[in-house]
């Protein structure tokens, strides 16, 4: 499977977990959950960790794709769009960390539009 397809599938999975516009559903990850048993609490924690890991992997894959001419345009669109904001929020990046990552890409020579608040 090609990297671009994996990136799209990862974003599709995240969007399916947060069906509205993506961003508003992130509270699900931070909301306290009442566990009926220790087993269900552990399962919920594992799910949160898995979702966070997926979001981090999507960001890292998209960064790697910037150096692949076949996927560069798609990756730039990711960093300029809501996909990056969704993944960064789920990964736990704050506003400053999001900007630092984008500045790092810009200093590497990639033209990325400013991040909207």
DSSP state, residue 23: S
pLDDT of the residue at 24: 40
pLDDT of the residue at 91: 94
Where along the chain do its domains lie?
3-17+40-107
pLDDT averaged per 10 residues in sequence order, the chain, 117 residues: 60 60 43 51 83 94 93 92 92 91 89 72
Question: Are 84 and 78 a contacting pair, CB within 8 Å?
Answer: yes
Radius of gyration of the chain (CA): 15
What is the distance of C-alpha 15 from the center of its chain?
10
């Amino acid at each position: 499977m090609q990297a671009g397809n994996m990136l799209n599938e990862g974003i599709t999975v995240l969007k399916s977990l947060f069906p509205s516009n993506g961003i508003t559903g992130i509270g699900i990850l931070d909301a306290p959950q009442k566990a009926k048993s220790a087993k269900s609490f552990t399962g919920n924690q594992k799910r949160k960790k898995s979702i966070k890991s997926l979001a981090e992997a999507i960001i890292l894959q998209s960064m790697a794709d910037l150096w692949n001419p076949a996927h560069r345009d798609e990756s730039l669109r990711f960093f300029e769009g809501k996909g990056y904001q969704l993944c960064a929020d789920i990964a736990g990046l704050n506003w400053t960390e999001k900007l630092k990552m984008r500045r790092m890409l810009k200093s590497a020579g990639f033209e990325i539009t400013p991040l909207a608040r």
